[in-house]
Amino acid sequence: MSRVKTEGTLKNELRFANRSILILGLARQGLALARFFVAQGARVTISDAAPAEKLQAELAALGDLPVQLALGGHPLHLLDGCDLLCLSGGVPPQIPLVQEAVARGIRLSNDSLLTLQLAHSRGLGPLVAITGSSGKTTTTTLVGEMLAATGRTVHVGGNIGTPLIDRLDAIQPGEPVVLELSSFQLELFDPAVAFGPCQACGPHVAAILNVTPNHLDRHPNMASYASAKFNLLRRLPQGATAVLSSDDAVTAALLPTESRHAGPIPSAWRLGNLVQELQESLAGRGIRLVPFSRQAPLAQGAWLAGDLLLLEGQPICRRDEVRLRGDHNIANLLAAAAISAAAGASVDAIAAVARRFTGVPHRLEVVAEADGVTWINDSIATSPERAIAGLRSFDSQQQTLILLAGGKDKNLSWDTFAQEIVERVRFLIGFGEAGPMIVDLVQERARYSDHPAPACAVVQRLDEAVELAARTAGPGTVVLLSPGGTSFDAYKNFEARGEHFRHLVHRQLAARSMSGMKSVG
């Protein structure tokens, strides 16, 4: 993308009265942006690639808000007279209309960038932002609860829950703002395309939990994906804090040598120059680097020592007191502790949340337990890496695993996931677009393994997978929906897939008149 103008002060740049604003995407982010800009006195047009008949819920939520609509496509004439183009997270900047906007010098933004810019201009904060390839939502939710446990009113948004852009007037100075940010949102933090000066519009506390292959169906390569994540750290103001994993190859490379516990970054990712440039930038701005590690002790930050979670050497809690399942959630807890402490939470508040927190929906969520069968909803597992974490949270020596895997591929490697299935799963049910591919890969991998291939079946839809699992499962069985693929082959998002799974499970159990069922959640 070509560089656009960024002159002007922040105060002047954030005046929107009588400006012409074009918003792409009529989802929750687009709706929040529309409400904000209308309240600011702007002239607002919303464009969505879907036709009106597929947007009935969104149009109902829009109500009688005075905006212009352009549905069923993004015609280039919408850019005529446009002062600012705002993208919802699901809209890639590579589409022709966005490229044409950049060519014309029209600035780009989104709800998260505007939220941080406006929060800075109004003196709000502390501002906290969290990104990563996995664990974002759980960690963000934990941070919100840990800060709230100190007695403060906390505002959580961004890629989680409800956007904050149209609710900023309700936020008072001293009330923490916690944002989850995706790579899609962070793409527009690049000053080459961003609206307004954003060189120091970042949060006071930022965290990158990990950077592993993800969303390579949208990002052309790992360098592009990592660079989007790095935009969060590139925008930190002088003296801000960056919380980074010592166990992840990419984030560990940004830490001092003595705080690194990960191996080298794979050379095929071609991140060397990006990492070096960011290291120099962080040092030049005096950014405080705080590590966290589940794998080894640290001199500072948060880490696991035997059975004890520690923060700056002070005990948080014992591992057996944590109610979250899986090693990956221990890492999320340690990250949340380091982030929350940097934003002003006490160890006592952090410890209280660490002991009571039971998780976020669709993340290893217990849907039902009946006749010795446990049904687990891990619909958030939209990449093989996340699905691997789900599998590893169960003891396959103690429990029989039936895995429901599939969905839509994101152009990621499935090899390690297939090996985990061979070693841990008794019955694999593939569904959706990627289902047959996963089954084929598992059966091929088993030919060269010391473990026998699991029983396998392929179905088209999730309801068929649940029905087959219900017929097969016996006492001591865990039925795990941990797909590895996105939901977009059949559902609007992973939440919709998880909700459908819940419904299907309870329908199956009710139909069979199973006695003694204990529903959870």
Please indicate if the annotation marks 134 as binding a ligand. Answer: yes
Kindly state whether residue 257 falls inside one of the protein's structural domains: yes
Kindly state whether residue 15 falls inside one of the protein's structural domains: no
Please indicate if the annotation marks 132 as binding a ligand. Answer: yes
Average pLDDT value over all residues in the chain: 93
Look up tokens 């977009």; give the residue: 488
pLDDT band with cut points at 50, 70 and 90 for residue 513: low
pLDDT of residue 90: 85
Cα 117 to the chain's mean position, in Å? 21
Which residues, 6 or more positions from 211, have their beta carbon under 8 angstroms from its beta carbon? Answer: 132, 133, 225, 226, 229, 248, 249, 250, 251
Q: What are phi and psi for residue 320, nearest 5 degrees?
A: -75, -5
**Per-residue pLDDT tens over the stretch 215-269:** 988 999 999 999 999 999 998 999 999 999 999 999 999 999 999 999 999 999 9
Kindly state whether residue 463 falls inside one of the protein's structural domains: yes
State the maximum Cα–Cα separation within the chain, in Å, rounded to a whole number: 69
Q: Is the pLDDT score of 198 beyond 80?
A: no
pLDDT of residue 511: 86
Look up tokens 């687009």; give the residue: 30
Kindly state whether residue 228 falls inside one of the protein's structural domains: yes
- The verdict on 447 and 398 lying in the same domain is yes
pLDDT of residue 197: 65
Domain that holds residue 52: 20-109
- The verdict on 164 and 311 lying in the same domain is yes
The total number of structural domains in the chain stands at 3
Give CA–CA dist 168/118, Å, rounded.
8
Please indicate if the annotation marks 162 as binding a ligand. Answer: no
pLDDT band with cut points at 50, 70 and 90 for residue 520: very low
pLDDT band with cut points at 50, 70 and 90 for residue 4: very low
More confident call, 512 vs 77: 77
* The model's pTM: 0.89
Omega prior to 454 cis, within 30 of 0: no
Look up tokens 């080298």; give the residue: 264
Domain boundary among 356, 386, 404: 356
Q: Is the pLDDT score of 391 beyond 60?
A: yes
Contact predicate 44/166, CB 8 Å:
no
- The verdict on 379 and 467 lying in the same domain is yes
Please indicate if the annotation marks 137 as binding a ligand. Answer: yes
